[in-house]
Amino acid sequence: MSTKYINFIAMSWFISILICMVIEGVYFSAQETSIFNDLRLFTSIKVGGLVPIPAFNIYFFRGIYRLLVWDYSFYSGGYAVIRYFWMVVLSTGAVWGIGQTFAPVFANLLRIFR
C-alpha cells in the first residue's frame, strides 16, 4: 500500500469534514483532532521533563484503523449512508493493500524465528 493511497483517504476524510461543516455547521471536535494526532508516525517524549526526544507513536495503527472505519462525529444521522459507502469502496482497497504489504513481512518473521 502506497502512501499516496493513505493520503487520498485522509484527503477525502478532510473534504468530508469541510462538506459537513458547510451543510450542518459541525466543527472539529476532540475526536477528529485525536485522529490527526494518532496518524503522526513519531511523537516526542520528554526525558526527565526537560529534553524532548523523538519516539515511535504507538497509536499510529489505531489512527489507521479509525481512518478506515470512518467512525467520525460528522457521519451521524443522515450522513451514515455516506460513511458506509466510503467504508465499502475505499476501506476494502486499503485493507487489501495493507495485507499485501505486511504479508511478506510476517512470512519473513516466521521464517527467521522458526
pLDDT confidence bin for 21, thresholds 50/70/90 = low
Task: Give this prediction's pTM.
Answer: 0.58
Q: Is the pLDDT of residue 54 over 80?
A: yes
Is residue 58 within 8 Å of 38, Cβ to Cβ?
no
Q: Is the pLDDT of residue 27 over 70?
A: no
Q: Is the pLDDT of residue 86 over 70?
A: yes
The DSSP code sequence of the chain is --HHHHHHHHHHHHHHHHHHHHHH-----HHHHHHHHHT-SEEEEEETTTEEEEEE-TTHHHHHHHHHHT--GGGSGGGHHHHHHHIIIIIHHHHHHHHHHHHHHHHHHHHHH-
The residues spanned by each domain of the chain are: 3-113
Q: How confident is the model at residue 24, as a pLDDT?
A: 65
Once rounded to an integer, what is the mean pLDDT over residues 36-50? 80
Q: How confident is the model at residue 12, as a pLDDT?
A: 76
Residue with cell 504479508: 103
